Amino acid sequence: MRVEVKNLSFVYGQGAKALSVRALDNVSLTIEEGEFFGIIGQTGSGKTTFVQHLNGLIKVGKDSGSIKIGEYDLSDKKCDFKSLRSKLGMVFQYPEQQLFGDTVFDDVAFGIKNFMPEKNAEETEILVKEALEMVGLDYQKVKDKSPFELSGGQKRRVAIAGVIVTKPEVLVLDEPVAGLDPVGKREFFALLHKLHKSFVKTVIIVSHDMDAVAENCTRAVVFSQGKVVCEGTPKEIFSDLETTNSLGLGFPVTAYLTARLKEVGVDIDSDLTVDGFVNEIMNKLCGGNE
Amino acid sequence: MKDVSFGQYYPAKSFVHNMDARVKILAVIAYIVAVFLVQSVTTAQGVAFQFLGFGACLLFVLIATLCARVPFGKVLKSIKGIMFFIVLSAILQIFFNASGNVLVKWSFITITDVGLLNAGFLVARISLIVLGASLLTLTTSPVEIADGIESLMYPLKFIKFPVHEFALIMSIALRFIPTLLDETDRIIKAQKARGADFDSGNILKRVKALMPVLIPLLISSFRRADELADAMDSRCYSGSKVRTKYKKMRLTWRDLVATVAIAGLICGVVALNVTGFLAVVVLL
């Protein structure tokens, strides 16, 4: 499903002028099917407001733009949001805080119960098992446990299993690696790539972690004060470190090294992933010979 | 979740905002007393005078709203919240008051002039009280209210009432309302994204649909309480013994003006009551 947003605007607290905040200002962007798309920006730049529009949790206001996702027109009042939400999964910040089921199984099956009431017990079990194994948990071991007795990382995996259990085509994640350690982060992105190779066609992540964006995303946008200020591949976005710095963002370590090497006259032209960067340096060092 | 109007602080710089919270609390109590002082009289001749009393209270609220620089719409919104209650009590008064002259009689329904008057009376009384009370919460931040109440309850210390701890409980509760609202909003969204449906089905179904919101909310509240207790412990919080205040409350000329105004209101209402009573006596 293609995501097409045109001239989207949104104001919080429209009633009282003293309290109103312009969260989105004329945002237009298109995300093609198959992309691993990053959304970066400072806290309060409108990223979360933007992604919450994508599955109709925040409705598109009158005269404030349009959103089309596949055949769904979200600016249309008659849009079938329930069916849209089954195809566009959304993982919130700290998803482990939304767990509620008596058992892990119940919690993961919640989405099936809501979106696919026609599934019988057997079919449900197959789907739940598949989802839990997808996120790297042992189905037999965890299914009857209470989600609250699991570790933090396991809880997060359960929560994500609860979103992907209905096999959404588009997966939107809001700060998915916040609070994870480096190993946890790496594992998490490996999981996202695994999902991206199976039924999830498009991944959209909101992140503060510039290294993660450079390493994983095919394309990204930068939000600042409700506007899209920069759009392109990580390489294009981080080609000018001063601009990203002025927007209050950090930069990936590979971009920083590229800039510093340029200062001393070494030109490294890589895609800013760690592997790509190292390969490029090796090439330079060995003069092109392996 | 974002349009809970009753009890919401409206930030602005104004005469009323700058008043001492204690005086504001006492003024609201005095104002409510004034509204209750407006007497109900059953003869039609006295009616004009009674509603004059309410008129005085309304005028007082209007002037106070102007002085507070709060939009009238914001204040009126507070009535919307208890509209059901107001309408219900009016209906009860109209249909089930049997005294006075009968105006309409249709099967078991009897509407009398006294019933209608009492209904109007009740609606005016409730609305005026809510308007005044909402003005307090609109112009005074929760922290200020808690501080004010603590200061007002100070005399209770002499009967060993833990005033400071009570005020602490209150301000923590108030402090976490917005946090919990945000959290509720977030969890509702997360469950909606997983297809939860909160807006359809009968009552039982809707209550059941709320479980996926209430359980995470309860758990996170306990977590928050734990963390807060740890944070207070690690800073050696020791209750009321030697704590001073960051913001000292001080009485100013504004508080004097407000006190005079509210005293004037009460005197006016009493005067109208007496003249109304006299008028009724004279006419009889």
Q: Tokens 């929760």 belong to which residue? A: B142
Give B5's pLDDT tier (boundaries 50, 70, 90).
Answer: very low
Across the interface, which of A82, A85, A97 has its CB nearest the CB of B216?
A: A97
DSSP, residue by residue, A110-143: HHHHHH-TT--HHHHHHHHHHHHHHTT--HHHHT
> What one-letter code names the amino acid at A59?
K
Q: A89: part of which helix (H) or strand (E)?
A: strand A88-91
User: What CATH number matches the domain at A3-239, 3.30.530.20, 3.80.10.10, 3.40.50.300, 3.50.50.60?
Assistant: 3.40.50.300
Query: In this structure, are residues A106 and A113 in contact, taking their beta carbons and an 8 Å threshold?
Result: no
Among chain A, residues having any CB pair with chain B shorter than 8 Å are 12-13, 15-16, 18-19, 52, 55, 57, 82, 85-86, 89-90, 92-93, 95, 97-100, 110-111, 113-115, 148, 162-163, 166
Alpha helices in chain B (DSSP H): 21-37, 47-68, 72-81, 83-96, 113-139, 142-152, 163-193, 203-209, 211-234, 253-283
Tokens representing A182 are 């480096």
Q: Is the pLDDT of residue B49 over 70?
A: no
In whole angstroms, give the CA distance from residue A151 to residue A160.
14
Segment A61-97, tens digit of pLDDT:
888 888 999 888 888 888 888 889 989 999 988 888 8
pLDDT digits (tens, 9 = 90+) for A101-139: 899 999 999 999 889 888 888 999 999 999 999 998 999
C-alpha distance from A149 to closest chain B C-alpha (Å) = 13
**CA atoms of B35 and B57, how far apart (whole Å):** 7
How do A21-31 and A170-174 pair as beta strands?
unpaired
Query: Is pLDDT of B40 > 70?
Result: no
Task: Provide the b/e sequence for B206-237 (b: ≥16 CB within 10 Å).
Answer: eeebeebbebbbeebeeeeeeeeeeeeeeeee
The structural domains of chain A, with segments of one domain joined by +, span: 3-239, 252-290
pLDDT at B1 over 60: no
Mean pLDDT (chain B) is 83
pTM of the entire structure?
0.73
What pLDDT sits at residue B171?
81
Close Cβ partners of B199 (under 8 Å, ≥ 6 residues apart): B206
**Distance separating alpha carbons of residues A149 and A8, to the nearest angstrom:** 42
Q: Which helix (H) or strand (E) holds A258?
A: helix A253-263
Tell me phi and psi for residue A16, to 5 degrees. -100, 125
Do the Cβ atoms of B187 and A95 come within 8 Å?
A: no
CA atoms B259, B260, B261, B265: torsion sign: positive
Q: What are phi and psi of A55, to 5 degrees?
A: -120, 25
